[in-house]
Amino acid sequence: MVRNIKLHIEYDGTDFYGWQYQPDRRTVQGEIENALKKLTGEEIKVIGAGRTDQGVHALGQVANFHTRSQLTLSQLQRGINALIGDDVYIREIGEVDEQFHARFSAKTKIYHYSIILKPSPLQRRYNWYVPFAFDIELIKKVIPQIQGEHDFTHFSVHNGNSTGICLMTNLSLKVSDFQITIVLEANRFLRKMARGIVGFLIDLGRGRFAPDDINRVFAGEIKDLYFAPPQGLCLIKVNY
């Protein structure tokens, strides 16, 4: 009998070449698949909810795989965690119905992008240190124009093989004295889309762009967006 197994995964993306398997490069998917092959003797493909880029972290990545192995869920969880590096960890495991697909069954994904305003060696792996001043209130005024359904092709590195239409259900800021968290929730994210939005917002706040330029980006009239660095981005939760 084939079983469909669901994983909740946390990882520090610093030393990975992203989620997706690449020959001869260390990836999160590759680590887990190698561990499963040792445990089950099967060639197993692990399907992730989101293909995070090199350097991007995850607190709530979700994945699933199919197996004929009769190992218990506890044995699978302990075995995978024993065989992978300390920078990735299977937090939860469960058996789900055949129709569940980690990527296509997802309703929305929530990312947090973290920015610090003062240098901190202890936080540099998980935040973007921005050394210049920018206008938070101006950024807040433009955010409603990004929310909703739009073609986000020009906020991303998009190959054009599928639609760039995404529904941004939430884009908001959490501000403290020396840290800003940008919360992004959408039904799907194109490659580097979250980082493109963050880069635009910060450049807007520092005066590189004007508020009306948001429409020029959507229209593809602005080509030189700055993509915020990967270490500030973390996949927090996938909603089903």
DSSP string over 42-102: S--PPEESS-PPTT-EEEEEEEEEEE-----HHHHHHHHHHHS-TTEEEEEEEEE-TT--T
Q: Would you say 51 and 230 are in contact if contact means Cβ atoms under 8 Å apart?
A: no
Q: Tally the C-alpha atoms within 13 A of residue 71's C-alpha that lie toward its C-beta.
A: 21
Catalytic residue check, 53 = yes
Q: Which of 12, 15, 24, 53 is catalytic?
A: 53
Angle made by CA atoms 219, 18, 20, in degrees to the nearest 5: 90
Strand partners, 239: 108
Give the residue from 131, 156, 139 showing the smallest Cα distance to 218. 156
Give residues with Cβ within 8 angstroms of 18, minimum separation 6.
27, 28, 51, 52, 53, 54, 55, 56
Query: Which helix or strand (DSSP H or E) is residue 124 part of?
Result: none
Q: Read off the DSSP letter of residue 208.
A: S
pLDDT by 10s per residue, the chain, length 240:
999 999 999 999 999 999 999 999 999 999 999 999 999 999 999 999 999 999 999 999 999 999 999 999 999 999 999 999 999 999 999 999 999 999 999 999 999 999 999 999 999 999 999 999 999 999 999 999 999 999 999 999 876 667 899 999 999 999 988 999 999 999 999 999 999 999 999 999 999 999 999 999 999 999 889 999 999 999 999 999
Strand partners, 6: 64, 94
236 three-class SS: strand
Give the whole-angstrom CA distance, residue 88 versus residue 74: 17
Q: Would you say 218 and 154 are in contact if contact means Cβ atoms under 8 Å apart?
A: yes
Q: Which residue has the tokens 């433009």?
A: 142
